[in-house]
Amino acid sequence: MSSQDRIVAPVDATKVPRFAGQGTFARLPMVDAVSDYDIAVLGVPFDGGTSYRPGARFGPMGVRQASRHLRPGYHVELDTTPLDTVQVVDAGDAPCTPYDIDAAMGQVESHAREVLGDGGRKIIAIGGDHTVALPMLRAAHAQHGPLALIHFDAHLDTWDTYFDAPLTHGTVFRRAFEEGLFAADSSIHLGIRGPVYDRMDFAADSAFGFRILRAGDLDDMGVPEALDTVRRRVGDAPVYVSVDIDVLDPAFAPGTGTPEMGGVTSRELLRLLRGLDGLPIVGADVVEVAPAYDHAEITCLAAATVAFDLATLMSKHPSG
């Protein structure tokens, strides 16, 4: 969008208090209220791929509610006023069946492609479990080609099957690799921790072209060195950022489906995200928020803040 006067701003919190007014993400305009847009926040209320606690289907609703607390004006750390430069909208929720994983993922991909249009737009998906990353990656790949994945998570999500099911929240990135969605040797996991089923899980993950920075590695190297590793890893490939909220320690994100002790703090996660400034981020998701297990909107607020930071990063480099 080239003309600033075409931008429709969110509801003014100095005139309508944040606890009132429309319930869109950060009280942004709905997609049908604007003539065009650059970035869409899309809810994906699906949790049929979960393996432990259900409830992420209510994630988009919970994150939107918590996002009322945001002040979507000047972003101090990134030194920009994102909503003054690009049109960001709430695109509502992708319609998807709760009874058939493959059918649901097809519906999500089709809807994401419709929201993206002919090119130039970007989507931040709010899940939903991590299965929903696959259709979002497919839609981004269709426009940008092979992607570099920056994956924040406690878990690798590159297992082959779970209870013989090939597509779940724990197998999503193996399926994406098999479909050729990733640029060769350009993807990285951050925040991985906890035990796994077999030591060979790590060998398989490496064979798919991933680098792993475990939570303990972040303790040893610190955020600046971790960010340098990420930047060297992704190179100049178009970047897709996937944030499973369980990358945070349960103290900072109790409302999630498969919590793991020893995660990163909310401050560390935000420093890592903001350190991606300048990378060509073409798509993103924030997933695995299960509001029923949350307390005082801690997890939902974390996810809302992450989503707004992703929108801010995209707004600084709208061409990707």
* Ranges of each domain in the chain: 4-316
Residue 11 has pLDDT above 90, yes or no: no
Cα gap 169→150, rounded to integer Å: 16
Residue with tokens 């995660």: 263
Average pLDDT value for the chain: 95
**How many of the other CB atoms lie within 10 Å of CB of 194?**
15
Residue with tokens 């003539």: 35
Number of continuous H segments (helices) and E segments (strands) in the chain: 8, 8
pLDDT value for 320: 66
Residue 3 has pLDDT above 60, yes or no: no
pLDDT value for 12: 86
Reported as a single tens digit per residue, the pLDDT across 53-65 is: 999 999 999 999 9
Instruction: Give the chain's radius of gyration (CA, Å).
Output: 18
Reported as a single tens digit per residue, the pLDDT across 142-173 is: 999 999 999 999 999 999 999 999 999 999 99
- Topology (CATH) of 4-316: Arginase; Chain A (3.40.800)
pLDDT value for 313: 97
CA 201 centroid distance within chain: 24
Residue 4 has pLDDT above 70, yes or no: no
Cα gap 67→5, rounded to integer Å: 25
Cα gap 102→88, rounded to integer Å: 29
Q: Helices in 67-187 by DSSP H: which ranges?
A: 101-116, 133-144, 172-178
92 cis-preceded (ω within 30 degrees of 0): no
Closest CA to 8 of 51, 45, 49, 39: 39
